[in-house]
Amino acid sequence: MPRTAAKRAAHGLSWALGRVTAAHRVLPSFLIVGAQRCGTTSLYRSLARHPLVLKAVWRKGVHYFDVAYHKGPAWYRAHFPLAATARRVARREGRMPLAFESSPYYLFHPLAAERIARDLPGVKVIVLVRDPVERAWSAHAHELARGFETEPSFERAVALEEERLAGEEERLRREPYAVSHAHRHHAYLARGRYADQLDRLAAHLGRDRVLVLDSGDLFADPRPAFERLYAFLGLPAAGEVRLGRHNARPRTSPMPDRLRRALREHFAPWDERLRPWLGADPSWRR
């Protein structure tokens, strides 16, 4: 049997076992919910090394509360470790571990926050933010490389965004199990208006259950950010913090200065509203 076919067969068998044993699996205590292209993969991999943290079994991002909600709670629970595994860790470490997953579309999807609040009472969420101009540019390169974007010009893709996204959020609210390609893959500016999305999270979960970290500060010096993170999650520090960079994408051409200035001005009101969340000016505005 070819390697890829064998891998699919093994995954299918494991997945079937996960579904059968879903009732005996833990649910996440916290989620990394975004934002896309802000370092969520790096944070996920770093947290997964903590001895009191259990990552999702099948993949980094389950994407249940955004595009797979129709599959039901047993499907979601099947992604996480067995309760017996958690108990073994508790015996070894002296306390119960925390399970988590990371799906960066949760922050932007219009229904994800209320679904999370309803299905995971008490869950905490972590949000990473970065310079929204750089985030948008990075997202375009990412979607282009993955084949989800057909417009090679970032400037042109930004110009098309309003038309592409017109009515899509309303449609997702009207048709709860619908999936919007444009909303998920072409929201270069909209995803960088972080404050609107944070307000929605706070409205459903409560502000005390939302931690916002500035990716610029996190990658410059991870220690203070991880101190806040561990305090938020109630976790002890666990050795040296290692934070690698993952999923970097090359840019096809430089961003024109006039476009950068225009986008920086565009995001200014939303950046100002981040100050209460961060306790300081965003790193890209200092």
Tens-digit pLDDT profile for residues 194-231 = 999 999 999 999 999 999 999 999 999 999 999 999 99
Nearest to 131 by CA among 279, 234, 274: 274
CA distance 81 to 86: 7
The contacts of residue 69 (CB under 8 Å, 6+ apart) are 111, 115, 176, 177
HSE-up of residue 215 (Cα within 13 Å, Cβ side): 21
Q: Sheet containing 30-34: which strands, arranged edge to edge?
A: 53-55, 98-102, 30-34, 124-129, 210-214
Coil/strand/helix, residue 190: helix
- Checking if the pLDDT of 1 tops 90, the result is no
pTM for this model (two decimals): 0.92
pLDDT at 208: 98
pLDDT tens-digit series, residues 57-108? 877 899 999 999 999 999 999 999 999 999 999 999 999 999 999 999 999 9
The contacts of residue 247 (CB under 8 Å, 6+ apart) are 41, 142
